[in-house]
Amino acid sequence: MSKAVGNRAYWCDTCHVPLIGKQCLACGGIGRDICAATLVPVFRPEINYLKGKTDATIHPLLKEGEIWLAPGHYTYYCQGVPFLKLSAKSDKVEISKQPKALKPLNRSVKKALETLKQANRKYIEDLQYEAEIFILKTVKKYEGKINMVSFSGGKDSTVVSHLVMNALGRSDVLHIFADTTIEFPDTYGYLQKFQQQHPLTPFVETRSNLDFFQTAKSIGPPSRILRWCCTTHKTNPLSKLIDSMSPDQGILAFDGVRKIESSRRANYSRISNDHKIAREILARPILEWSDLQVWFYMLSQGLSFNQAYKKGFRRVGCLFCPFNSDWSQLMLKERYPKQWERWQIFLAKQAIRMKHPNPEVFVERGWRSRAGGRGLDFYKSSVESSPCILSENAVQYQLLSGDIHLLRHFLRPLGPQSIVNKDEYLESFLIHDYKSNKILASVEIGFIDHSVRVNYIVNKNKRLFRQRVEKQIKKLQVCIFCGACGAKCKSNALDSEGHFLVDESKCISCLTCISHNCPIVKSLHYKGIN
Ligand SMILES: [Zn+2]
């Protein structure tokens, strides 16, 4: 990877443009380190939205080409200075810096873009060179396989498409788009435009036979834990298409996956064949690129891109993604009111079907995440059905309060655990019988939406086992770490005073701490909160 550019965004105070390397290549000056390179440009439609939320005195500063945003903390930069902060939840814009100190720059969007290009040209050329060499080497290494670009309509695959065709020096590289049927309306518009601009590029669209809304009705909307949508509406149709196309030699697919997008992807390698789709080699030319680098590449190459970005969306994919941020939700409502309304009505009906005790919460955010997890009414719901064949035995719980990260400890007395998967969103493990080591249950914990899915595998005394799990979940929700249950532990394995820790090596699953009647659970029960 080119070392000239990195993960920070710098600002040239002379040329008034962001830089992806320390030195400004237009004036030779050294840039100011302003923030992580997650910076993205802000376009006119979003600027107009901001104008509607702010007072007229700062409007002259709000100009396309002059405003950049660090989306992670909703901070807008003007002339390299953070000056607006947005609260997506309350839909309010706060002025966080003295904007009076800033004087509007008198230059056109075109001029700003030219300066930006000049100030970063060598950095972008180096990135491009490195990526194209990688593409050429990879194509050579997997000679004989069908080359294709996995095209989503987002900015990353736009860049990869350009890099691949440029590196190979031909435009007849197969592009495949898997339509989830709930894509952004602007994505469909962009696909059309892309095909018009690339008449020689074979473009194949594939689509699931399942209707998204129909599927969501029967198995519940996708959540951060049950992300069925990617499998049913993206991977499966793509897999079928690839199977039908290339039974023998296989596929070499280039995609726009980048590490920075999630911690899960941080472990991805640039080439992999360990993927859901058999006989497919995946290559990721821009795996290490930052958002800013992707944007600079697109802007400096003058590529057309999905208009959704101009409207204020940071990522483009499914409209109703359980990973949508509050800001995305707000923008959906603002920009695609028809689709938004359809989804709201669907969720409201779904809440009634599920007999959800708090439909409003479910519609607003319960389906995708629970923002804070505290202060909401207690509810515990069982999963109606789920796509897995074991669903009969699976129960989903929603945590009202308590530290979800401690749940593993609360469940530990039931038996030793083996971790299946753990990342920032999800932890899953198996609970084994202390003596026989048989699997009693599998547990999936969603850290973001505070939900827990337990699949009860044990047959003997299933009801009793389930009661114990539920007792521990209740306990966690109300635990004030009084130490009472830990004090009962004979093997000195549980320390529950001030925290809740089980010593793996000492716990013999005697269940004493579980059968102990928690005073807090009892008192809340009497108050009728349970
Ligand atoms: Zn400069």
| Paired residues of 11 in beta bridges | 18, 32
Higher model confidence: residue 405 or residue 388? 405
Rounded to whole angstroms, the Cα distance separating 470 from 155 reads 45
pLDDT of residue 520: 59
User: Ligand 1 centroid to 41 CA: how many Å?
Assistant: 18
pLDDT of residue 154: 95
Tell whether the model's pLDDT for residue 448 goes beyond 50.
yes
Does the pTM surpass 0.75? The reply is no
pLDDT of residue 247: 62
Higher model confidence: residue 183 or residue 102? 183
The dihedrals phi and psi of 194, each to the nearest 5 degrees, come to -60, -45
User: Ligand 1 centroid to 26 CA: how many Å?
Assistant: 5
pLDDT of residue 382: 27
What is the CA angle 491-497-501, rounded to 5? 55
User: Ligand 1 centroid to 22 CA: how many Å?
Assistant: 10
Rounded to whole angstroms, the Cα distance separating 173 from 201 reads 6
User: Ligand 1 centroid to 265 CA: how many Å?
Assistant: 34
pLDDT class of 361 with cuts at 50, 70, 90: confident
User: Ligand 1 centroid to 21 CA: how many Å?
Assistant: 11
Do residues 63 and 337 touch, judged by C-beta distance below 8 A?
no
pLDDT of residue 362: 76
Rounded to whole angstroms, the Cα distance separating 423 from 310 reads 32
pLDDT class of 91 with cuts at 50, 70, 90: low
**Alpha-helical runs (H) found in 169-232:** 185-197, 212-219, 228-230
Average confidence (pLDDT) over 5-9: 77
Tell whether the model's pLDDT for residue 522 goes beyond 60.
no
Q: Beta strands of 125-212 (E only): which ranges?
A: 146-150, 174-179, 203-207
Q: Residue 142, Cα to own-chain centre: how many angstroms? A: 31
pLDDT class of 387 with cuts at 50, 70, 90: very low
User: Ligand 1 centroid to 45 CA: how many Å?
Assistant: 28
pLDDT class of 525 with cuts at 50, 70, 90: very low
Which residues have beta carbons under 5 A from ligand 1 (an ion)? 12, 14-15, 24, 26-27, 29
Most confident of 12-16, 378-382, 402-406: 12-16
Q: Which of the residue ranges 174-183, 273-282, 415-424, 486-495 would you say has the lowest mean pLDDT?
A: 273-282
Rounded to whole angstroms, the Cα distance separating 14 from 20 reads 16
pLDDT class of 172 with cuts at 50, 70, 90: very high
Rounded to whole angstroms, the Cα distance separating 139 from 176 reads 18
User: Ligand 1 centroid to 100 CA: how many Å?
Assistant: 23
Higher model confidence: residue 33 or residue 485? 33
User: Ligand 1 centroid to 31 CA: how many Å?
Assistant: 7
Long-range contacts of 81-87 (CB under 8 A, 24+ apart): 83/58, 84/50, 84/54, 84/58, 86/50, 86/327
pLDDT class of 121 with cuts at 50, 70, 90: very high
pLDDT class of 370 with cuts at 50, 70, 90: very low
pLDDT class of 378 with cuts at 50, 70, 90: very low
- Strands 394-398 and 451-456: what pairing? antiparallel
pLDDT digits (tens, 9 = 90+) for 30-67: 999 998 888 999 999 999 998 888 888 888 889 999 99
User: Ligand 1 centroid to 27 CA: how many Å?
Assistant: 4
Higher model confidence: residue 213 or residue 364? 213
Average confidence (pLDDT) over 359-382: 47
Q: Which of the residue ranges 73-87, 221-235, 267-281, 400-414 would you say has the lowest mean pLDDT?
A: 221-235
Tell whether the model's pLDDT for residue 2 goes beyond 70.
no
Average confidence (pLDDT) over 466-484: 81
Q: How many CB atoms lie within 10 A of CB 272?
A: 13
Kindly state the tokens that stand for 442. Answer: 């599998």
Tell whether the model's pLDDT for residue 442 goes beyond 70.
yes
The alpha carbon dihedral of 290, 296, 302, 307 has a sign of positive
Q: What percent of the chain has pLDDT over 90?
A: 39
Rounded to whole angstroms, the Cα distance separating 219 from 227 reads 11
pLDDT of residue 92: 62
pLDDT digits (tens, 9 = 90+) for 233-252: 777 677 777 777 766 778 89
Tell whether the model's pLDDT for residue 21 goes beyond 70.
yes
Rounded to whole angstroms, the Cα distance separating 284 from 263 reads 16
